[in-house]
Amino acid sequence: MFDTNHPLKLLFLKENVIFIMICVLFCASCSVKRPLAPTPAIQLTKIEPPVLKKHTEKMNVAAEFKRIFEASRLTFIYPDQIDSFYKNNEYQPVLISRFMADDQLQTFEGYLMNVDAHGIDPQVFTVNRIKKLLDNYIHENARKKERESYRDAMELELVIADAIIKYSNAMQFGIVDPARVYINYSTPTLRPDSMTVIQVLKVKNLKAYLDSIQPKDKQYVALQKALKAEQENPQENDSTYRILKVNLERLRWKNKPLTDKYVQVNIPEFMLSVIDSGKVSLRMKVCVGEQALDKETPQLGSKIYSVQVNPVWNIPQSIAGNEIIAYAKKNRYYFANNDINVYRNGKLVGDPESIDWKSEETGAYSFKQQPGEQNPLGRIKFLFNNESSVYLHDTPVQAPFKQKGRAVSHGCVRVEQPLNLAYALFGKGEKFDQIKKAMANGYPRAKYIGLPLQVPVWISYYTAWADKKGAVHFYKDIYGLDDVLYKQLSFPFSQLY
């Protein structure tokens, strides 16, 4: 045992204690981990899905993404296509990852905020929600737990995907489907399909794509310019703004003939134009259908394939029942005086004067007016297939062409200069010479003459249209179709498809 009272032993003990303490301190200092370097600030400009996958032990990423998607499914216009896209991408926020790095999402937000330049309310694309989610993600996610941050990314991702599809569709096809808006609409109109939607979500350079889909047609640009002037100088009565808004939408519809040559009838303008290589080669007045649902001239697209010189008029049942029979009741010789043949169950009636139209059941009868001066189709009609049985035709009654408002027909389009229209379609040659000679014949006989090359006819409805100098002219909404379309444009986007 140590004698602690001995001076040497005491000194030895003290030195050993000091040595042991130094060793303990040294060993302790070696066992303590060095402080980690400060954690760098979270970079919100890009999300790397592979990094996020490391946290699947705490949260099933794919399941969470699908849960958030299902909660929003009813707000998407193409939910199945969006779901398919993300399924192929393992339910990861690929758009944020792709577009956040160089501020392309902020650029997209800017396009949405300025969409009123197209006459579209930015809220159609839920721009306020996008702005809130994007700002929140950029500025506040650094202070959130990773689970919350990733859920925010999922929600932002889906809202962006839906908005890109909506904006792409709006710029290229319009917001609404005209066939669902109008009753008398049978113009072939291209609409977005599933493949179009998927391709939009695969775009690599968002800004370049957004620029590429901006409408650039001269008509569209002219109406945009007029809209901007209207927005800069707002009036108490916003009717001009409304007119420009609905006509910009009409110009976004893909229903215009793609051929170099076509015939356009603009119903509210009461005018026909022949377009050839982008230029108007012929203009003339027309008369269109009356302001009644059963007499309106329909919007349609077809191809003129033939003319009938000195045409036979197959009188529609609606006209026969409402007008022709009424005339016959007053005058038993009405049919003979007007060169109208009467048929019962398809067989010619030899003596229609003997029929008592006041008591006769008229449903079994049909009527055909023969060529001549009394025929309301005049000397020629231009034929094209359509569901409404309408056509362009001449007329013996010229007085309506002197009127400003020319909605006077039963639905067909009466043309002011039929011979000039025939020349514009056929051109110089034997067939046109036949038409000209047959129309001048004092003893007319019906004759069909086919067009060597069919020419598209586009019967449209624009209440605002720019001339070749870019000046916008406004026309009366004779069928009330502006109001119908304006109400549809005010609906949420998800209800328009």
C-alpha span between 76 and 72 (Å, rounded) = 7
Instruction: Determine the Cα–Cα distance for residues 36 and 176; give it in Å rounded to an integer.
Output: 58
Would residue 30 show up in a list of annotated catalytic residues for this protein?
no
Q: Can you tell me the distance from the alpha carbon of 280 to that of 303, in angstroms, rounded to the nearest whole number?
A: 18
φ, ψ of residue 356 in degrees (nearest 5) = -90, 95
The token duo for 159 is 């809202």
Q: Report DSSP letters for 293-318, one per residue.
A: TTTPPPEEEEEEEEEEES--EE--HH
Count of positions (residues) in the chain? 497
* Number of helices followed by number of strands (H, E) in the chain: 19, 16
388 vs 391: CA distance, rounded Å: 9
Task: Determine which one of 118, 287, 393, 410 is catalytic.
Answer: 393
The set of residues, in sequence order, having a beta carbon less than 8 Å from that of 300 and lying 6+ positions away, is 185, 186, 187, 386, 387, 388, 390, 457, 459
Task: Let me know: does 98 contact 204? Beta carbons within 8 Å.
Answer: yes
Whether 393 is catalytic: yes
> Quick check: helix, strand or coil at residue 191?
coil
Based on the number of CB atoms within 10 Å of its own CB, is 43 exposed (0-12), middle (13-18) or buried (19 or more)?
exposed
Catalytically annotated residue among 118, 287, 410, 412: 412
Determine the Cα–Cα distance for residues 124 and 130; give it in Å rounded to an integer: 12
Distances (CA, A) of 111 to 105, 167, 206: 10, 9, 11
Class of residue 92 by CB neighbours under 10 A (exposed 0-12, middle 13-18, buried 19+):
buried
* CB-based contacts of 169, cutoff 8 Å, min separation 6: 77, 175, 192, 196, 497
Check residue 37 and report its DSSP letter: P
For tokens 């100098």, the residue is: 469
- Return the HEC string of 215-242: CCCHHHHHHHHHHHHHHHCCCCCCHHHH
Catalytic residues: 393, 412
